[in-house]
Chains A and B, each alone.
Chain A
Amino acid sequence: DVKVTQSSRYLVKRTGEKVFLECVQDMDHENMFWYRQDPGLGLRLIYFSYDVKMKEKGDIPEGYSVSREKKERFSLILESASTNQTSMYLCASSYSYEQYFGPGTRLTVT
């Protein structure tokens, strides 16, 4: 079974803090993704990576950065958290078409 794990299920951070969300997959997938999920908006792509050290912006990259130093690990960084970044963050990985999702991190920025 493919397993995608995310470092935290729930996080509460203060405005202005630097926030790290970690994602690890165990299937040697080339592609990894970060989405944010908001009610009524579905899943919106923040960034994706198709190889180590490679990254591409998605639809809503502003306020976020990513890091992929190892194939199995993809990190999402909020440089200076703001209240409008309160959301559910989902990580996914894929080899081809099908994407496998982690359980999500619910981030609250106060």
Chain B
Amino acid sequence: QQQVKQSPQSLIVQKGGISIINCAYENTAFDYFPWYQQFPGKGPALLIAIRPDVSEKKEGRFTISFNKSAKQFSLHIMDSQPGDSATYFCAASRRGNNDMRFGAGTRLTVKP
């Protein structure tokens, strides 16, 4: 069963535009929501993460928006650059549990 649903599957954005990727989760026990970035030929690497006690977290051009009541969170990439072209995974997990659930991934292409 897919506990974290991610959309869109692929996304094409012009350089300088805003990229938005959305995720929805089902299990209200989740308390950690990371985003991973994966370049071709590499393993996923943690990009940014949020806990449900805040509604937004920003690190440079990357922002997570979190809506606890809707059980949704999203990644916003401002001023998107060709170097941001990668696959992005959202995920969710809970304290004391090693079971991290991943979304299906979004392939982002930023056109120059």
Contact = CB atoms under 8 A, between A and B. Distances in A.
B9 interface: yes
B43 A103 contact: yes
A98 B49 contact: yes
Interface residues of A, number: 24
B98 A104 contact: no
Contacts of B44: 43, 90, 101
B65 interface: no
B49 A42 contact: no
B44 to A, nearest CB: 5
B43 A97 contact: no
Given A42-B105, A43-B89, A97-B32, A56 B98 contact: yes
A98 B46 contact: yes
Interface residues of B, number: 22
A74 interface: no
A81 to B, nearest CB: 22
B103 to A, nearest CB: 6
Interface in A1-58: 4, 31, 33, 40-45, 48, 50, 56, 58
A30 to B, nearest CB: 9
Given A42-B103, A101-B43, 18 more contacts: A4-B43, A31-B98, A40-B104, A40-B105, A41-B104, A42-B6, A43-B44, A44-B102, A45-B100, A48-B98, A58-B99, A90-B43, A97-B49, A97-B95, A98-B34, A98-B46, A101-B36, A101-B44
Please provide the 10 A-B residue pairs with the shortest distance between their CB atoms, ordered closest to farther. A101-B43, A43-B102, A42-B104, A42-B102, A97-B32, A101-B44, A103-B43, A102-B43, A48-B98, A42-B105
